[in-house]
Amino acid sequence: MNGTLATSGVLAAAAALAAAGCGGGGNKPLTKAEYADKVDNLCAAAQAKGKSLDLSSLSKIARSGTEAKGILNELANKVDNLEPPDEVTDSAKSFVDGLKKEANEIGELSKAAKNADVAKIQEIEGKLQSQIAATSEDARFIGATGCARLFTS
């Protein structure tokens, strides 16, 4: 179950990402640095929100997984509402899509934990770790290094 516990730490950190509500850049397009800063702020606020979640065991994942999924979906929606500069548009879309995929995997992990389906949990953890790595890479390309660290810690 060490993989579950390691994933739980990632989930708790990722779940925290969605709390801050940043708007778009107004009439002036955001620079890459401004966009990255806004995304990092969203990640930091969501990380703070997710610290209250305890995902350190199967029973706790079963209880808190749905909330973690909601926090990631909320983060994805907030980031999606930002207008990325042209130079990072593809990575920004991939980052949002990755967050949504992670949220879905966390939802599936929560279901598997409720059913104590260890084989399914291990399968989902593998998918989740792979998705987290891809999402982290997108965050680094965008310049949202706080988000990248979040997904690799």
Do the Cβ atoms of 53 and 10 come closer than 8 Å? no
Strand partners, 46: 17
39 part of a folded domain: yes
104 part of a folded domain: yes
More confident residue, 20 or 105: 105
23 part of a folded domain: no
78 part of a folded domain: yes
Q: What is the pLDDT of residues 75-89, one digit of tens each?
A: 999 999 999 999 999
pLDDT reported for residue 150: 57
Do the Cβ atoms of 24 and 81 come closer than 8 Å? yes
118-142 helix and 32-50 helix, angle to the nearest 10 degrees: 150
CA nearest neighbour of 8 among 61, 46, 50: 61
The dihedral over CA atoms of 142, 104, 153, 24, expressed in degrees to the nearest 10, equals: 30
- Domain that includes residue 98, residue range: 2-18+30-152
Q: What confidence category does residue 15 fall into, taking pLDDT thresholds of 50, 70 and 90?
A: very low
* pLDDT of 113 over the 70 cut: yes
89 part of a folded domain: yes
pLDDT reported for residue 88: 96
25 part of a folded domain: no
pLDDT reported for residue 75: 95
Q: What confidence category does residue 149 fall into, taking pLDDT thresholds of 50, 70 and 90?
A: low
34 part of a folded domain: yes
Do the Cβ atoms of 22 and 38 come closer than 8 Å? yes
Per the structure, the count of domains in the chain is 1
Of the chain, the end-to-end C-alpha distance in Å amounts to: 18
Distance CA 88, CA 14 (A): 22
35 part of a folded domain: yes
Q: What confidence category does residue 138 fall into, taking pLDDT thresholds of 50, 70 and 90?
A: very high
Burial of 22 (0-12, 13-18, 19+ CB in 10 A): middle
